[in-house]
Amino acid sequence: MEKRYYIIYSKENAEDIKKLVVDFKNVGIIIIRQELDKKEKFNLKSLKVRGNEQKELDDDSVLLFYVSSPVEHVSMPKTYEEHAIYIYKDEKVENGERYVLLDKLYDNYYKDLLQLSEHEKLNECIELFKIKAIQDDLEKDTELSKFAEKYGETKNYLTLKANTIYRRKQFKEARELMDKALTITLNNAKENFEYAILLEEYYEEYSKACKYYERAIELDEKSYEAYFNLAVIYTKHFNNYTKAYGYYDMLIAAGKADERVYYNKAIITMKTTGNVEEAIVLYKKAIEIDPKHFSAYNNMANLYLKELNDPDKAKECYEKAIEITDKDFGVYFNLGNIYKTCFNDYKKAKECYENSIKAEDNIYARMNLAVLLEENLADYKEAIKNFMRVLEIQPNNITIMNQIAKIYELENDYKNSLKYYQKMLEYKADDASAKYNIARMKQKCKREK
């Protein structure tokens, strides 16, 4: 059975592990990426490939954690720890027992990593990596022939050969080799499922991936992850919501639906029937399974606010979402709008807009905060400061220039008011309103003298 590698890394480190992922896939080694957002914790439940009702990782699974140094450690059950290898990039720190330095992997064709995880196929894999690294096409062909003589036409060999000629635009021949590679070990549901993952994630051949997922289900109707992945593909790539809905319903009927199923089904419900009440029931079910499901609370709040005109329940859901994470600017922004427009609580609205900006500086919260400060709180200096920040991001926004000019006029600062009315003409030379206001401000400036 082929090893399966899961590479877990944070979004900011995506470039660091890109070469490893591409190299592994190029020689036919199954590697599945799990990218974590900022502050997101690794969750064993979210691994994309799992066996049927699998409680533990099997011996063919390897978890690769990309960390900044061996000081970092991921908390997990002891039974999982034996499957974990840590790849780090800080050369100054001494190597640990199951820690390998990223640069050294590249230097010696991943020997250290494979020694820890796949020593029985070490030599074959090293040969493949060496062949892959050769730039000259003729030399690569020679080495591939030698490899075939030594190890035979293994699945990894066929995959590398296919990728090599694919880059020469021999697409038909490459596809034939890949098809041949795929037929070598697809004897059971698990193998069909794993190759469907390969086709889906690497080759982006979604129709073909669907066939292998469906074949996995034919061989074992308890291939529950295949149902889920089929539903995702039919939704995302084919807009076939009926089929996707059907696969989610099969998972629910089998008692194997997790929070993702109910959450995705709620989204499909809104896209197809627009049944708000049904969607809310599904979001609540997702939250029942995962009480910290941020997106379910956020989406449910949006439905209460926009579809059911129930600001109280929307406010409650947004506040629940903030309890889960205070790093999303959109939730604070929406909550600020509720406090302002539905409850006339300008102090709380101001606090929410400020928290939105603190989470991520954004023009939406800046704009609404500036308008709130100007129109409801009469804090003109702070209003100007926020409008100015928006203008830095959108320097040709004449609406903002007009707002700034108006506030300066309210502050009796006619000189600056004139400046921003004149600035409007730089972007819209025929703006009659700006020309009229320029004339007014010039008169006011004269009177001041």
Give the mean pLDDT of the chain: 88
What is the phi/psi pair of residue 106, to 5°? -65, -35
| In the chain, % of residues over pLDDT 70 | 92
Position 83 confidence tier, pLDDT thresholds 50, 70, 90: confident
Phi, psi of 363 (to 5 degrees): -70, -25
| Sheet order of strands, 30-36 included | 30-36, 4-10, 61-67, 84-88, 99-101
| One fold for 1-130 and 395-449 | no
Helices (H) and strands (E) in the chain, counts: 23, 5
C-alpha to C-alpha distances, 180 to 22, 90, 150, nearest whole angstrom: 21, 41, 19
DSSP β-bridge partners for residue 86: 65, 99
The pLDDT, as a whole number, for residue 293 is: 96
Which of 8-12, 267-271, 295-299 is predicted least confidently? 8-12
**Length of the chain, please?**
449
Give residue 6's identity as a one-letter amino acid code: Y
Q: 129, 123, 161, 158: which is closest to 142 by C-alpha?
A: 161
pLDDT confidence of residue 50: 43
pLDDT > 50? residue 62 = yes
pLDDT tens per residue across span 305-361 = 999 999 999 999 999 999 999 999 999 999 999 999 999 999 999 999 999 999 999
Name the CATH code of domain 1-130 (choices 3.30.300, 1.10.1330, 3.30.70, 3.40.50): 3.40.50
pTM to 2 decimals? 0.69
Q: Assess contact for 391 and 411: CB atoms under 8 A.
A: no
Q: Where are the domains of the chain?
A: 1-130, 134-185, 395-449
Q: What is the pLDDT of residues 135-152, one digit of tens each?
A: 787 888 898 899 889 888
Angle CA 178–126–182, to nearest 5? 15
AA letter at 269 = T
Give the span between the Cα atoms of 431 and 298, in whole angstroms.
41
Tokens encoding 305 = 């606010």
Report d(CA 95, CA 415) in Å as an integer: 65
Domain 395-449 belongs to what architecture?
A: Alpha Horseshoe (1.25)
State the CB neighbour count (10 A cutoff) for residue 165: 20
Task: Give the integer Cα–Cα distance in Å for 239 and 433.
Answer: 47
The mean per-residue pLDDT over the stretch 115-143 comes to 85
As a whole number of angstroms, the distance between CA 18 and CA 11 comes to 11
- pLDDT (tens digit, 9 = 90+) per residue, 275-303? 999 999 999 999 999 999 999 999 999 99
Q: Return the amino acid letter for 290.
A: D
